[in-house]
Amino acid sequence: MPFASVTWLKLSKPPDTDAPPMTPPMTPTMTPYLFYTLAGLAIAGSTLVVTRRKPVHAALALLVTLLAIAGLYLMLYAPFVAGVQIALYAVAVTALFLFVIVLMNLLLNQPLKLQPPSHSVLRFAHRDYSRVWPVGLAAGCGLLASFTYALVKSRTLFPDRMVSPSGSNTQQITTLLYGENGRPGQYILSLEIASLLLLVTIIGAAIQVGSSRSVIAPLKKEEPRPSVEDRDERRITNH
Amino acid sequence: MLPITTVHYLVVAAALFGIGVSGVLTRRSPVIVLMSIELILNAVNLNLVAFSRMWGNPQGQVFAIFVTVAAASQAVVAVGVLIVLACGVVARGAARNREPSPNHASLPNGLPNGDAE
């Protein structure tokens, strides 16, 4: 045998080949542990997103959640969706949220500082949470309970089997989106609509920024001597 | 240990959805409300990919990609709205400093200061 690994495989076989193996072939044994770890990370991260007071902490918890969900996609044999999740959600959207948090802190002239600790639960709730937050929390928990009840009761609806994918995942998705052998794909119209949506989004974002500049610009033109607030703002912006 | 089936993924997605709905309904900060909406959309995506795995059909993943595109567009537009509102707050504060009785009918409504921290 030229390769050592092949020899190792032959040696690691059970001595009596008639006995059935302990696990069915090609079944990874680490899967439940990996699943529970990733699911726990996702749920803990999303809980932190909802409960943290500072939006920066919430954004970082959202990053952890999105990466854990990308890991779940990998476990579901969807590597292309996992890549899109990491590249688009975990990088772009989280960076966008961090950017807008910092920018709004600068615009509203509130430096990034730790807030004084709240002394009572009621003040904490009144400041960062909606006034009717128990109702919202109860609605969310009720929705979650009804979902879980329905899923557990309808467990027989979902077959335990999982069909193993055949062929390359990215190639299958591309065939569905763009087509194959000169024929258009099944979802090519949806793809065009999605790209049109992205184009409209870009134009809309540009128009929004232009309108906000038209709000700011005349104020600075009319006011040659800046007030104390504006000077502070400029100092923060120049940093 | 039990093998992981589709129902496991559905329960995780339902938990994410419930947590996201709680965040949308309870939080006051608009940025965190946006993050909760992202959580809800991710729960939907996880459901779609889990069903795609169950049937061995990649169409669910195609739908998940479309949902991702829509979520990214929504995040960009909502963040732009937030920046415009914050600029409105700044402009209104500057106008209040300049004149004793300003007329800010033409300015957009701003956020209260407690909402954007």
Q: pLDDT tens, B31-82?
A: 899 999 999 999 999 999 999 988 888 889 999 999 999 999 999 998 888 8
- Range of weakest confidence among A123-132, B19-28, B59-68, B88-97: A123-132
Ranges A43-52, A80-89, B90-99: which has the least confidence: B90-99
Q: How many contacts, defined by CB atoms under 8 Å, are there between A and B?
A: 291
Instruction: Tell me what pLDDT residue B92 has.
Output: 72
- Residue B112: per-residue pLDDT: 47
Say which range, A153-162, A168-177, B9-18, has the weakest mean pLDDT.
A153-162
pTM: 0.73
pLDDT at B74: 92
For helices B6-26 and A133-153, the axis angle rounded to 10 degrees is 170
Higher pLDDT, B103 or A160: A160
Which among B28, B31, B73 is the nearest to A198, CB-wise? B73
Choose from B16, B24, B26, B53 for mutation: most chain A CBs within 10 A. B26
- What does the pLDDT read at residue A224? 53
Q: Could you tell me if B32 lies within 8 Å of chain A, comparing CB atoms?
A: yes
Look at A230 and A101; give whichever has higher pLDDT. A101
Q: Give the mean model confidence (pLDDT) for residues A59-68.
A: 94
Report the pLDDT value the prediction gives residue A19, as an integer from 0 to 100. 52
The DSSP bridge partners found for residue B27 are A129
Least CB–CB distance from B2: residue in A32, A108, A190: A32
More confident residue, B11 or B98: B11
Distance between CA atoms of residues A61 and A52, nearest Å: 9
Say yes or no to pLDDT of A216 above 80.
no
Name the residue facing A219 among B58, B68, B95 (closest C-beta): B95
Residue B30 has what pLDDT? Answer: 85
- A contacts of B80 (beta carbons < 8 Å): 204-205, 208-209
Burial of B103 (0-12, 13-18, 19+ CB in 10 A): exposed
Question: Which residue, among B78, B41, B108, has the nearest Cα to A69 in the 3D structure?
Answer: B41
Average confidence (pLDDT) over A217-238: 54
Where do the structural domains in chain B lie, given as residue ranges?
Answer: 6-99
Q: B6-99 domain in CATH 1.10.287.3510?
A: yes
One DSSP character per residue, A195-237 reads HHHHHHHHHHHHHHHHHHHHHHHHHHHH-SS--HHHHHHHHHH
pLDDT for res B35: 92
The rounded distance, in Å, linking the Cα atoms of B69 and B36 is: 17
Average confidence (pLDDT) over A90-104: 86
Residue A88 has pLDDT above 70, yes or no: yes
Span A60-85, mean pLDDT? 92
pLDDT for A170 equals 86
A13 has pLDDT over 70 = no
| Angle between the N-to-C axes of helices A94-107 and A55-75, in degrees from 0 to 180, rounded to the nearest 10 | 170
Pairwise CB contact (< 8 Å): A173 & B61: yes
Report residue B88 as tokens. Answer: 């409105």
The predicted pLDDT at position B87 comes to: 77
Lowest mean pLDDT segment, chosen from A113-117, A222-226, B11-15: A113-117
A95: pLDDT strictly greater than 60: yes
Judged by a CB distance cut-off of 8 A, whether residue A31 touches chain B is yes
pLDDT at residue B4 tops 50:
yes
Q: What is the mean pLDDT of residues A7-33?
A: 55
Measured CA to CA, the distance from residue A183 to residue A231 in angstroms comes to: 62
pLDDT at residue A196, rounded to an integer: 95
Share of chain A above pLDDT 70, in %: 65
Range scoring the smallest mean pLDDT among A87-91, A232-236, B68-72: A232-236
Kindly report, residue by residue over A130-170, the tens digit of the pLDDT.
777 788 888 888 988 888 888 888 877 777 767 777 778 88
CA A45 to chain centre: 10
- Amino acid code (one letter) for A143: L
Please give, one letter per residue, the 3-state secondary structure of A30-83.
CHHHHHHHHHHHHHHHHHHHHHCCCHHHHHHHHHHHHHHHHHHHHHCCCHHHHH
Answer yes or no: do B72 and A93 touch at CB < 8 A.
Answer: yes
Q: Tell me, what's the pLDDT at B37? A: 94
